[in-house]
Structure 1
Amino acid sequence: MDATDRLLNALAAQRLLPVLRSADPAAAADRTRRLLDAGCRAVELTTSTPDWAEALAALKAEGRGLLGVGTISTAEQAESAVRAGADFLVTPFPAPAVRPVAAEAGVVLIEGGFTPGEIADAAGRGPAKVFPAHVGGPRFLSSLRAVLPDAVLIPTGGISLAEAPSYLKAGALAVGIGSGLPEDPDELADVFRAG
């Protein structure tokens, strides 16, 4: 199984992709560990967290889960993420400079887009992030699925945990959630229990 299949299988099983933004890298690392302990298989850290590369490298040394870096917009950020051990990279919008870095490293790229053209372009290379998804909502995602039936779409941005099922029903592989995941370990485990 290649890297893309491993990531897509993990996302299909957990249906949500936690997107961690934190002012504190230690807090981001701790939250990642709690998510993995609860059965989450893939977590996205972001470049908006200070010292994110060091936090990622420390987490990767523990050898658990698929860990990616989001809010990647430059080749330099992508190279830092690859050096730190990222399993996947996520951009918020089309990022041509990131594509060759991901390809050369064999790291999965989830490229972002908002317009149908941007999303179709990204989906032609791999999984596509629909961002900011809350602007269009589930109906926008349904419209995209109608013209891109084979696309792997991951809507992210402004989506609450309660709204996630609507996006999944509209055809999302998984939904990026930046906040609102439960803190209680048992409740968190329920969220990531494979269906």
Structure 2
Amino acid sequence: MPATSPLLAALGAQRLLPVLRSPDVPAAVARVTGLVEAGCRAVELTTSTPDWHLALAACRRALGDGPLLGVGTVTTADQAAAAVEAGASFLVSPYPAPAVRAVAAEHGTVFVEGGFTPAEVADAASRGPAKVFPAHVGGPRFLSSLRAVLPHAVLIPTGGIAVEEAPAYLAAGALAVGIGSGLPEDPAALAAVFGGA
């Protein structure tokens, strides 16, 4: 399994993982840049953004190798390969994805594999951080139940979670919470969330 410490350290510090679905490449670059300038160290773009691989490559050119820029909703080997080629620091799937797992292993890229049932989450967590999706279905109590039987698992609940609900998931044992919408647009408010200057 590739070393996950930089990603885990970043997520452990910021506690929220922005999951971006942007309408186009310029919007994606602007949003990622704003997040990084606000102090965010890890951001997830998704394959639902048109030309997402171009957006990732543009972000890499603009921001360099400092921030951890991942790609989510990766479900095929082709998507995984394109993400790695464009400079992805990590890959995320919404459900078990052996084809993505193979590409990530081949390139030494961190893979946050998704699952919902205890068996799926346990399997993903045996290899690295696991995405619990869709987390809102079970809520914090479900996450707490998973933590009880998987005490060493690194869990990242995502899906339908509002920013104000994140503390309950963190208290239930999440390393970080994936947030798809609701993060502040105002730079000062965003900096307050991610500890930037």
Question: TM-score, with normalisation over the residues of structure 2?
Answer: 0.96
Report deviation, 1:100. 1.1
Aligned counterpart in structure 1 of residue 180 of structure 2, from 169, 178, 195: 178
Q: Given the alignment of the two structures, is residue 5 of structure 1 paired with residue 19 of structure 2, yes or no?
A: no
Distance between the aligned counterparts of 1:34 and 1:45, measured in 2?
14
Question: TM-score, with normalisation over the residues of structure 1?
Answer: 0.97
- Aligned-pair identity (%): 74
Report deviation, 1:34. 0.2
Distance between the aligned counterparts of 2:145 and 2:172, measured in 1?
9
Distance between the aligned counterparts of 1:30 and 1:14, measured in 2?
20
Deviates more, 1:78-87 or 1:59-68: 59-68
Matches within 5 A, 1:1-195: 3-61=3-61, 62-63=63-64, 64-193=66-195
Unaligned runs of 5+ in 2: none
Unaligned runs of 5+ in 1: none
Distance between the aligned counterparts of 2:60 and 2:22, measured in 1?
18
Distance between the aligned counterparts of 1:80 and 1:73, measured in 2?
12
Q: Deviations over 1:134-185 (max 9, x none)?
A: 0000000000000000000000000000000000000000000000000111
Report deviation, 1:3. 4.4
CA 1:46–1:55: 2 relative to 1, 3 Å: same
SS at match of 1:180: coil
SS at match of 1:19: strand
Distance between the aligned counterparts of 1:25 and 1:132, measured in 2?
26
Report deviation, 1:48. 0.3
SS at match of 2:22: coil
Distance between the aligned counterparts of 1:150 and 1:28, measured in 2?
34
Distance between the aligned counterparts of 1:3 and 1:18, measured in 2?
22
SS at match of 1:163: helix
Report deviation, 1:190. 0.7
Report deviation, 1:85. 0.6
SS at match of 2:113: strand
SS at match of 1:126: coil
- The one-letter code sitting in structure 2 at the alignment partner of 1:161 is V
CA 1:3–1:41: 2 relative to 1, 3 Å: farther
